[in-house]
Structure 1
Amino acid sequence: MRCSQSHTLTYLRHHVPADELTVNRLFVSAYLEVRGVAQPRAGFLSRFVIKNSDNENSIHQEVCRRVISDFGKDITLETMVQLFEFVVSPADRIVTGAIYTPIRIRKAIIANCLNNMTIEELQKIHAADISCGCGGFLMDMALLIHQKTGKPYSEIYRENIYGIDIQPYAIERTKILLSLLALIGGEDEDFEFNLICRDSLDVREDGWDGRYRNFDVIIGNPPYVCSRNLTDETLEKLKRYEVCRTGHPDLYIPFFQIALEMLSDNGRMGYITMNTFLRSVNGRALRFYLSNQGYSISIIDFRGYQVFESRNTYTCLFFLNKADRTRTIRYAVDENSELPGAVNYNIIPLNVLDNNKGWTLNDFVTTTAIEATGIQIKDYCPSRHGIATLSNETYIFRPEKEDDRYYFHDGFRIEREICRDVVNPNKLNTVDDIDALVEKVIFPYYIEDGRAIVYEPDEMKRRFPRAFAYLKAKKKVLFGRDKGDISKYPQWYAFGRTQSLVMPRYKLFFPKFANMALKCVICDAPDLMLYNGLAFVSDDERKLRILKSVIESEIFWSYIKKNGKPYASGYYSLSGVDIKHFGIPEFTSVEEDELLEIDDKNEKEHWLKEKYRLSLTRV
């Protein structure tokens, strides 16, 4: 049962007040009743037990029925972890980044950090989750320590595990889970917890509790909040951290530095976290920081596999051992999230990686050889993104019919003279004929000295009265662009951005995302425009023909699969940051002629591999 689709949660959303206390009481009482666990005597946990005389009793009975329907009578504490995480409000998720971490991921991280410890080390361990959410990691750590050492939960909670979270309800739910874990283990008392409600970004501030430092282990799932959703207060706090000095860092970025500063000299950390820091501008300062620290790092990269069912996020497991300063990264790809016991890592010295452009870790030897070949693609030929109208549904259309003067669309006549042809290259891999992709775009500009200048309103009304009437009918939509602030637009009907309004004669179109080797098209059409996709552009058709041969090759596609940003369903990004370092061999004129004369795909592939000096079995 996927908890996000459960009857229990559906019922709660429609019939139960949203306050945390009511939800906590319902979940705890349902767990105890369905599992047949004796009611706790301890004061803390007993607050969450619904009695027959309580107002919530009828709702409680219905929740119990739905829990049994969803999970059967074998409801576990893992079910409680899921339920607590899934009732976090969508608004809170956006701001705090709270998300449920599957148990197999938690156990893999804990095993990596704790399994090699002796019983004596486990008895004395100080372990923390500094963004603990509802306590899943802490619960698993407590269980492991208890099972391996026989130490009572009361002592483990008091001496060994620590949790920090910014939300009070998260701390309370962590206490509930840990109390239930102890209760089913035969311990029924009010425990002394090391759980504090604080913002971990404040760890450097005066007044921070000194017990929450010098940890042996820090594990967890740092909050997933993109930079655009951060509050001004949080953005200000990020400035304190060295790892946040490039780009627009997301909230997970500083949690690397915070963990390292809170660990003891021989401490270990284990995270499931975004994998974007490996290549992104936002992660550049973090890469420099980790490289300068020189600790041994291990990464299991899930690439395009989505661990979290409710998020379009791409993640990896990240491990660091401060006792090991071998200055290496051990890297492995696990695209099915199989988490094998023995991981086949590739070992890469930190000093051979380029912190500035990004860490190229997947098939490091081959990728490095390709990127060191000839001229990088970003320097070989310029590329362009498509036009940005910010209202494609207004400007771009397929005519319902046409005559010598007008295109007919949406009940309007639109002058042919103001329209240009436009294509969406993202559809190239599924369409054989680019002519099938051609649409029309209303282009309210004229070209003067190589610049696109928007028509003045009087000129628009005089020359293109039908098109102007159409745009005027869409005025409300057009005024809503850029969140209603179009004050910087030269005219209200201008495109949202000025990119790609003037293009060179030849264009090599290719998609922005692909799930197979590319099919590209070269067009000789100065006025042909593009949207959504990408194009290499030049006034030299021969250069684009050579480039087309290269980027349609398996060499290029293999490079993209290993280094492009992955997406669901086997798609990969071909944006500038993903392809710009790909090397194009410096062909002689004779070699260019030879390449362009090869028609057979396999022969061309073999020819290119020789130029890249690659083993024919590696790509």
Structure 2
Amino acid sequence: MFDVDGPPLPAVSQEAVRHGEVFTRRWIVELILDLAGYTADGDLARLRIVEPACGAGAFVGPIVERLSKSCRGHGRPLSDAAGAIRAFDLLIGNVELTRALVRDRLTADGWERDEVDEVVRGWVRQGDYLLTAHGTADADFVVGNPPYIRLEDVPDERMAAYRSACLTMGGRADVYVGFYEQGLRSLKPGGTLGFICADRWMRNQYGRHLRRMVTRHHSMDLVLSMHDVDAFHERVAAYPAVTIIRNTVQGSVVAADTTREFGPREAQKFLAWTARPTSIAMTDTGFKASRLSHWFPGEDSWPTASPARLAVLEELSQGFRPLEDETTGTRVGIGVATGADKVFITDRSDLVEGDRMLPLAMVRDTTAGRLDWGGMYLVNPWDRAGALVDLAAYPRLRAYLTKNRAALEKRHIARKQPGRWYKTIDKVDPRLNVRPKLLLPDMKQAIHPVLDEGGLYPHHNLYFIVSEVWDLRVLGGLLLSKIAEAFVEAYAVKMRGGTLRFQAQYLRKIRVPDPSEIDEPTSTALAVAFERRDVQAATQAALRAYGLTNFPD
């Protein structure tokens, strides 16, 4: 069994707190070491484990205890383990605290003071892990709880050095991104990284380069979300997860989520379950877990959902094609952005020449679940060839735009192209308004596809889907279902009040069956459910289309 807290850690300095250090509870450390495979029954003196930011020794203490037990069990002197641990910390105070902790643990375990002193100084070093030359990739394990500190809060000179040393630290990254990168680079083939850290890098823009590094060169073996678990000695506003990543080709993945009931006893149960590779899923007090056959590829944001739902989404991602698909001519896009809606959008149909007035679909026209046009128009400066019109050919349009020229020229796009001062930000596609299309509002608490049979052009708060093959009512039924919504919910940013962003990048994550393989009764059921706005019926028909018997919450 895990010791809930273990021996007390030394007092933490305020300087350490300023450096983003948050210390991990003993039973969490023990769980990470077990999940990584750093156990005393192995010959640990032959292996090397790295702790990149040791702080007051939360990880190093249990590591040393396991190493000591291993040496005893394998009949080795402590000197054989001189290269078995490499721990770093930026602060000399933390280095001294950790060295004292290690000496106490080893002498309590019966090792002679002389041999203890010989190894401890080499094990724990002062240094900035991110800026230390580590040489060859020689680590069997990298474990720890990297510092939680925004990169912009680091002094400028050090921040520049971090960005230079760690290519994944783009944008407004957190320093922990660099610890992931350097830790992964230092692993031997087959080596393992085990961190407890904020999980935002899996979804935010600043984690894109790190996600690409993981999916191209490593195997995501385990993700254990611990948002509500009391994992640290201090209360922190973080969303932590334990991640186990190996330097090998991608294999199966354990995805698990915890509740606030997850503690040492539940951790033991979870650990025992992970050791049974034939077990696909488990639900127990404090956690739910599933085993996925693959991880989600690429650098785009990784999904978040219950383990059971992740497993189904992973299965669908492997077995079905994306919604946007060249083979069916299905395309996802966004309506026109003008940069000056007060000028370009009007309810006056006779404001300028008639062929310059383009009927415009607005979000409010879709509220009822059917298209109910509110009479708005786009003052359209584009011709059918996709070029700006010659204002000399349209005197009323020229007069109207000239009257509003000062406002239009303040836009960035007009300052960038002063000769094209009257263009909208987006070019108008002259074919789109006459095509049948599904329209989806950008922000909604539930997915909300609405059919435009043709005649309206979408405003930029509406996304559209057109297709050469799909019956849009059948596709609309699929999109109305909870299955399609689950794809978006897994990837999208959820706003206050539970509102989701149904943006093109998330809609493209939806996987759909081949329309030619959906049988006639199921197609009919999907179309009828769409027309009736019956989400439950759409979901039941979608289950048949995907070949599923149920869909987990």
In structure 2, give the amino acid aligned to 1:446: W
- Once residues 490 and 109 of structure 1 are traced to their aligned partners in structure 2, the CA distance between those partners, rounded to angstroms, is 63
The CA deviation at 1:112 is 0.9
The CA deviation at 1:470 is 2.1
In the other structure, the counterpart of 2:222 is 298
Structure-to-structure mapping, 1:89-100, within 5 angstroms = none
In the other structure, the counterpart of 2:127 is 196
Structure-to-structure mapping, 1:75-90, within 5 angstroms = 77=11, 80=14, 83-85=17-19
In the other structure, the counterpart of 1:519 is 448
Aligned partner of 1:612 among 533, 539, 546: 546
Q: Pick closer, same or farther for the CA change 1:221–1:513 going to 2, 3 Å.
A: farther
The CA deviation at 1:304 is 12
In structure 2, give the amino acid aligned to 1:108: I
**Between 489-498 and 548-557, the greater mean CA deviation after superposition:** 489-498
Aligned partner of 2:254 among 306, 325, 330: 330
Q: Pick closer, same or farther for the CA change 1:287–1:321 going to 2, 3 Å.
A: closer
In structure 2, give the amino acid aligned to 1:465: A
2:292 aligned with 1:348, yes or no? Answer: yes
In structure 2, give the amino acid aligned to 1:175: I
- Once residues 165 and 379 of structure 2 are traced to their aligned partners in structure 1, the CA distance between those partners, rounded to angstroms, is 45
TM-score (norm 2): 0.62
Aligned partner of 1:283 among 191, 195, 211: 211
Q: Pick closer, same or farther for the CA change 1:455–1:433 going to 2, 3 Å.
A: same
In the other structure, the counterpart of 2:494 is 567
SS at structure 1 position matched to 2:422? coil
The CA deviation at 1:331 is 1.9
- Once residues 406 and 29 of structure 2 are traced to their aligned partners in structure 1, the CA distance between those partners, rounded to angstroms, is 58
The CA deviation at 1:377 is 1.9
In the other structure, the counterpart of 2:512 is 583
Question: Contact conserved, 1:301 with 1:335, CA < 8 A, in 2?
Answer: no
The CA deviation at 1:237 is 6.0
Aligned partner of 1:509 among 439, 446, 453: 439
In the other structure, the counterpart of 1:12 is none
The CA deviation at 1:447 is 2.3
- Once residues 417 and 125 of structure 1 are traced to their aligned partners in structure 2, the CA distance between those partners, rounded to angstroms, is 76
2:87 aligned with 1:162, yes or no? Answer: yes
SS at structure 2 position matched to 1:615? coil
In the other structure, the counterpart of 2:92 is 175
SS at structure 2 position matched to 1:259? helix
2:320 aligned with 1:386, yes or no? Answer: no
Q: Pick closer, same or farther for the CA change 1:536–1:460 going to 2, 3 Å.
A: same
In structure 2, give the amino acid aligned to 1:612: Y
Percent identity between the aligned chains?
11
In structure 2, give the amino acid aligned to 1:141: F
The CA deviation at 1:183 is 9.4
In the other structure, the counterpart of 1:472 is 406
The CA deviation at 1:186 is 13
- Once residues 149 and 456 of structure 1 are traced to their aligned partners in structure 2, the CA distance between those partners, rounded to angstroms, is 79
The CA deviation at 1:270 is 1.7
Instruction: Write the deviation string for residues 240-287 of structure 1: whole angstroms up to 9, x where unpaired.
Output: xxx99xxxx998777556324424677542232522499979734531
Gaps of 5+ in 2: 1-9, 70-80, 105-119, 271-281, 283-288
Q: Pick closer, same or farther for the CA change 1:356–1:117 going to 2, 3 Å.
A: closer
In the other structure, the counterpart of 1:141 is 59
Count of matched residue positions in the alignment of Structure 1 and Structure 2 = 468
Structure-to-structure mapping, 1:209-358, within 5 angstroms = 214=139, 216-221=141-146, 256=180, 258-263=182-187, 268-271=192-195, 272=197, 273=199, 274-276=201-203, 283-284=211-212, 286-291=214-219, 297-301=221-225, 316-320=241-245, 327-334=251-258, 341=267, 342-343=269-270, 344=282, 345-350=289-294
Q: Pick closer, same or farther for the CA change 1:609–1:194 going to 2, 3 Å.
A: same
Question: Contact conserved, 2:334 with 2:461, CA < 8 A, in 1?
Answer: yes
- Once residues 423 and 471 of structure 2 are traced to their aligned partners in structure 1, the CA distance between those partners, rounded to angstroms, is 33
- Once residues 260 and 356 of structure 2 are traced to their aligned partners in structure 1, the CA distance between those partners, rounded to angstroms, is 50
Q: Pick closer, same or farther for the CA change 1:280–1:551 going to 2, 3 Å.
A: farther
The CA deviation at 1:575 is 4.0
The CA deviation at 1:84 is 0.7
Q: Pick closer, same or farther for the CA change 1:555–1:252 going to 2, 3 Å.
A: same
Question: Contact conserved, 1:504 with 1:539, CA < 8 A, in 2?
Answer: no
Instruction: Write the deviation string for residues 574-616 of structure 1: whole angstroms up to 9, x where unpaired.
Output: 4445443512353355653454345565444333322322113
Q: Pick closer, same or farther for the CA change 1:237–1:475 going to 2, 3 Å.
A: same
In the other structure, the counterpart of 1:66 is none
Gaps of 5+ in 1: 1-75, 86-98, 165-170, 407-413
Structure-to-structure mapping, 1:423-462, within 5 angstroms = 423=361, 425=363, 431-432=367-368, 443-449=379-385, 451=386, 453-456=387-390
SS at structure 1 position matched to 2:313? helix
The CA deviation at 1:383 is 1.4
Structure-to-structure mapping, 1:542-557, within 5 angstroms = 543-557=471-485
The CA deviation at 1:384 is 0.9
- Once residues 145 and 573 of structure 1 are traced to their aligned partners in structure 2, the CA distance between those partners, rounded to angstroms, is 44
2:33 aligned with 1:113, yes or no? Answer: yes
Q: Pick closer, same or farther for the CA change 1:150–1:252 going to 2, 3 Å.
A: closer
Instruction: Write the deviation string for residues 72-104 of structure 1: whole angstroms up to 9, x where unpaired.
Output: xxxx9568378514xxxxxxxxxxxxx665756
SS at structure 1 position matched to 2:127? strand
Instruction: Write the deviation string for residues 540-561 of structure 1: whole angstroms up to 9, x where unpaired.
Output: 8x72211111111123223444
Instruction: Write the deviation string for residues 370-415 of structure 1: whole angstroms up to 9, x where unpaired.
Output: 44666542124211123344x3566566x6xx76755xxxxxxx99
In structure 2, give the amino acid aligned to 1:218: V
TM-score (norm 1): 0.57
Question: Contact conserved, 1:299 with 1:317, CA < 8 A, in 2?
Answer: yes
The CA deviation at 1:121 is 8.3
2:541 aligned with 1:592, yes or no? Answer: no
In the other structure, the counterpart of 1:21 is none
Aligned partner of 1:366 among 312, 317, 330: 312
In structure 1, give the amino acid aligned to 2:245: L
Instruction: Write the deviation string for residues 400-439 of structure 1: whole angstroms up to 9, x where unpaired.
Output: xx76755xxxxxxx999856554565x799x437778959
- Once residues 64 and 226 of structure 2 are traced to their aligned partners in structure 1, the CA distance between those partners, rounded to angstroms, is 31
- Once residues 371 and 347 of structure 1 are traced to their aligned partners in structure 2, the CA distance between those partners, rounded to angstroms, is 15
2:420 aligned with 1:491, yes or no? Answer: yes
In the other structure, the counterpart of 1:92 is none
- Once residues 159 and 538 of structure 2 are traced to their aligned partners in structure 1, the CA distance between those partners, rounded to angstroms, is 53
- Once residues 338 and 421 of structure 1 are traced to their aligned partners in structure 2, the CA distance between those partners, rounded to angstroms, is 56
Instruction: Write the deviation string for residues 90-128 of structure 1: whole angstroms up to 9, x where unpaired.
Output: xxxxxxxxx665756x97356412696449989999654
SS at structure 2 position matched to 1:194? strand
In structure 2, give the amino acid aligned to 1:454: L
